[in-house]
Amino acid sequence: MCAAANLNTPLLFFSGKGGVGKTTLAAAHALARANLGKRVLLISTDPAHNLGDTFDRELDGTARAVAPGVDALEIDPDAECRSYIARVKENIRATVRSSLLAEAERHIDLAAGSPGAYEAALFDRMVAIILDEAQLGEERGYDQVVFDTAPTGHTIRLLNLPELMGAWIDGLLRQRHEHNRERSQWLGENEPPQDPLYELLHERRRRIAVVRDMLLDHEQSSFVFVLTPEHLPVRETQRAVAELAEHRLPVSALAINKVLPGVAKGAAKEPVGQPGPDDFLGQRRAAQGRHLETIERLFADLPRSFIELQSTDVHSLEALRRVAAQWQQGD
């Protein structure tokens, strides 16, 4: 782990371009923390789940032990969306007249396919895990929740949701408050009527605000961007780090993965001669060296950790422990 980075926060997110090794590094970090005696909950929010394959285990939406001190689960976005819509329907049944209920439910079903519904359902589950299921800081709870996220663009949209959903719920609360006030005046009542839906919205707004504050707090949340020393991952990471900074989300460290042995930590800057046209490995080493120089220039203010390209695929506990050993050593 990067010695200069604070990666001991209750919430830790691994993000980056698809294919750079987010799942591997998130799993390796979880094992490294467990080696220090911590209890870790490892969660995949990526629809294309690889977490179970990485541990060579079957995973679903229920936390299961994958290693001593590490539990893991894979959030099924489709199942969460169905559950989310079912909860919305249940909530409106107490407030919508029976004659309008069928039409209201039809509109809710249509909204399930609208932009943002998937992210909203996923974020609702994340809120439940963070505030309820993980029991962070409690005697029987987890010390850290590690999120293995979807590729960068999806993750940024997801992390922006607290602000967007908070504003949306504020609008609904204002409308509901005005409706209740007018209803009280029309009925000649001094006090506004009890409104379960208003209370539900208010509680949901409170929970979203709590999680939003945690995401913005450098003592509560940290973000690791995983990249490989290649042109596209470097550029995507540059854009993502800048965008998260605009939203005050704390990027704590970079994990540069799949580095050829001997190239990391400035070794590529040593003069090695110009590789010949048929020297494939030499050309790859030279290219990685150039990209590592770019990474050092663009992200000079961020702690960086280098993980070497493994000689075998990483899909077992033994292979993950080898990566975890490198991750623990840090930069």
SS3 148: strand
Measure Cα distances from 250 to 180, 297, 324 in Å. Answer: 40, 20, 23
Examine residue 122 and state whether it is found in any structural domain, yes or no.
Answer: yes
Examine residue 87 and state whether it is found in any structural domain, yes or no.
Answer: no
Beta strands in 33-143 (DSSP E): 40-44, 64-67, 70-74
Going by pLDDT thresholds of 50, 70 and 90, the confidence category of residue 192 is: low
Examine residue 3 and state whether it is found in any structural domain, yes or no.
Answer: no
No. of H helices and E strands in the chain?
10, 8
pLDDT, average across residues 250-255: 89
The amino acid present at 73, given as its one-letter code, is L
pLDDT, average across residues 185-209: 73
Residues in Cβ contact with 187 at an 8 Å cutoff, skipping those fewer than 6 apart: none
Phi, psi of 330 (to 5 degrees): 70, -160
Examine residue 106 and state whether it is found in any structural domain, yes or no.
Answer: no
Examine residue 97 and state whether it is found in any structural domain, yes or no.
Answer: no
Mean pLDDT of the chain: 84
Going by pLDDT thresholds of 50, 70 and 90, the confidence category of residue 115 is: low
Residues in Cβ contact with 83 at an 8 Å cutoff, skipping those fewer than 6 apart: 121
Going by pLDDT thresholds of 50, 70 and 90, the confidence category of residue 166 is: confident
Q: CA 310, CA 314: separation in Å to the nearest integer?
A: 8
In terms of pLDDT, which residue wins out, 80 or 2? 80
Provide the domain limits for residue 230. Answer: 11-79+117-329
Q: CA 209, CA 227: separation in Å to the nearest integer?
A: 31
pLDDT at residue 142 in the model: 95
Examine residue 89 and state whether it is found in any structural domain, yes or no.
Answer: no
Q: CA 118, CA 105: separation in Å to the nearest integer?
A: 18
* 39 has pLDDT over 80: yes
Beta strands in 192-261 (DSSP E): 221-227, 251-259
Examine residue 51 and state whether it is found in any structural domain, yes or no.
Answer: yes
Q: CA 197, CA 200: separation in Å to the nearest integer?
A: 5
Going by pLDDT thresholds of 50, 70 and 90, the confidence category of residue 81 is: confident
Total domain count, the chain: 1
User: For residue 297, what is the domain's CATH number?
Assistant: 3.40.50.300
Going by pLDDT thresholds of 50, 70 and 90, the confidence category of residue 271 is: very low
Examine residue 153 and state whether it is found in any structural domain, yes or no.
Answer: yes
Dihedral angle over CA of 59, 62, 68, 69, nearest 10: 130
Find the range with the poorest average confidence among 77-86, 123-132, 300-309.
77-86
* 250 has pLDDT over 70: yes
Q: For the chain, what percent of residues have pLDDT higher than 70?
A: 84
